[in-house]
């Protein structure tokens, strides 16, 4: 190495108070780059995105899951925990019992299971043909 390179002072390259570029970075230059980059990324995603996702999911499922998790907002986990955490353990036991009692409940969408339960409750509470209240048919005859 030459003497010039080894004798350079280390640390602050300019004396204090001296700005090598007094006008600073041109306004909007970083924004312009970001806008161009995001536009290019959007165009590339539109052309290749779904196919790339399919390939990654097939070849490396753990990486695919990692990418999915990295783009989700951090508060998603908190929202899910808050929704399920609000139920007491006895309430959770009731829900588990209902799910176990419904044929194929684990293979159905939650809304479909809820509709099944609502229809069953309505049918149970409906008046009978003989005019008796629900659950009293045949009693006291």
94 is written with which tokens?
């009731």
pLDDT tens-place string over residues 47-68:
998 999 899 889 988 888 888 8
Task: Give the helix ranges, DSSP H, for the chain.
Answer: 3-6, 29-59, 61-71, 75-85, 89-101, 110-125
Confidence (pLDDT) at 141: 47
Q: Rounded to whole angstroms, how far apart are CA atoms 66 and 63? A: 5
Q: Torsion angle of alpha carbons 60, 65, 71, 77, nearest 10°?
A: -170
Find the distance separating the first CA and the last CA of the chain, reported in whole Å: 111
Residue 84 clears pLDDT 60, i.e. is over it: no
pLDDT tens-place string over residues 87-136:
777 888 888 888 888 888 888 888 888 888 888 888 888 777 776 665 55
Q: How confident is the model at residue 18 (pLDDT cuts 50, 70, 90)?
A: confident
The predicted model scores a pTM of 0.33
């Amino acid at each position: 190495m030459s003497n010039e390179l080894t004798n350079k002072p280390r640390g602050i390259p300019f004396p204090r108070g001296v700005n090598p570029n007094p006008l600073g970075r041109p306004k909007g230059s970083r924004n312009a780059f970001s806008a161009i980059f995001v536009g290019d990324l959007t165009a590339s995603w539109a052309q290749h995105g779904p196919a790339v996702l399919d390939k990654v999911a097939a070849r490396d499922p753990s990486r695919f899951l990692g990418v999915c998790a990295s783009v989700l907002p951090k508060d998603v986990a908190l929202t899910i925990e808050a929704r399920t955490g609000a139920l007491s353990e006895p309430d959770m036991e009731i829900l588990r019992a209902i799910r176990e009692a419904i044929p194929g409940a684990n293979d159905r969408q939650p809304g479909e299971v809820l509709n099944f339960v609502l229809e069953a409750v309505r049918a149970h509470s409906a008046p009978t043909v003989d005019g008796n209240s629900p659950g009293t048919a045949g009693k006291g005859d």
